């Protein structure tokens, strides 16, 4: 049992990751998620180099990483918003559960997100 299991009534926190091609797209997605109360906070991390295979060819792109703090109950809406705003044909959207953390911070996340 993790600490979150002991906090009655707290929705499970998630970290959602997505990459973007440039700062304008990153800021548009981040602002939209926070304005719609789908995320409490979004960090934009520059300087990412992504290497991957796409349509049988090796790709190398400079990207930015978005680290999105949200809760499990709104994940479908977070994914839909990212997909709506993202220019990629197949954007990376990965959610990782938060197994433990500062109770005050986790409660803040939940308070900022409209479930």
Q: What pLDDT, on a 0 to 100 scale, did the predictor assign at position 10? A: 59
C-beta neighbour count of 54 within 10 angstroms:
11
pLDDT band at 46 (very low <50, low <70, confident <90, very high): very high
Domain 19-112 has CATH 2.40.50.100: no
C-beta neighbour count of 3 within 10 angstroms:
14
Q: What pLDDT, on a 0 to 100 scale, did the predictor assign at position 95? A: 98
Mean pLDDT of 40-65: 97
- 32 versus 4: the higher-pLDDT residue is 32
Q: What pLDDT, on a 0 to 100 scale, did the predictor assign at position 6? A: 44
Furthest CA-CA distance within the chain: 49
Q: pLDDT, tens digit, for every residue of 95-115?
A: 999 989 999 999 999 999 998
pLDDT band at 11 (very low <50, low <70, confident <90, very high): confident
Residues 6 or more apart in contact with residue 109 via CB below 8 angstroms = 13, 40, 41, 69, 70, 71
* pLDDT value at 2 more than 90: no
């Amino acid at each position: 049992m993790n600490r979150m299991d002991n906090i009655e009534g707290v929705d499970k926190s998630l970290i959602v990751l997505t990459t973007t091609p440039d700062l304008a797209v990153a800021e548009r997605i981040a602002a939209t998620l926070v304005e719609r109360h789908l995320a409490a906070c979004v960090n934009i991390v520059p300087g990412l180099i992504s290497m991957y295979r796409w349509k049988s060819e090796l790709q190398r792109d400079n990207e930015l990483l978005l680290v999105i703090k949200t809760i499990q109950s709104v994940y479908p809406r977070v994914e839909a918003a990212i997909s709506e705003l993202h220019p990629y044909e197949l954007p990376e959207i990965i959610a990782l559960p938060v197994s433990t953390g500062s109770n005050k911070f986790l409660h803040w996340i939940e308070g900022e997100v409209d479930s």
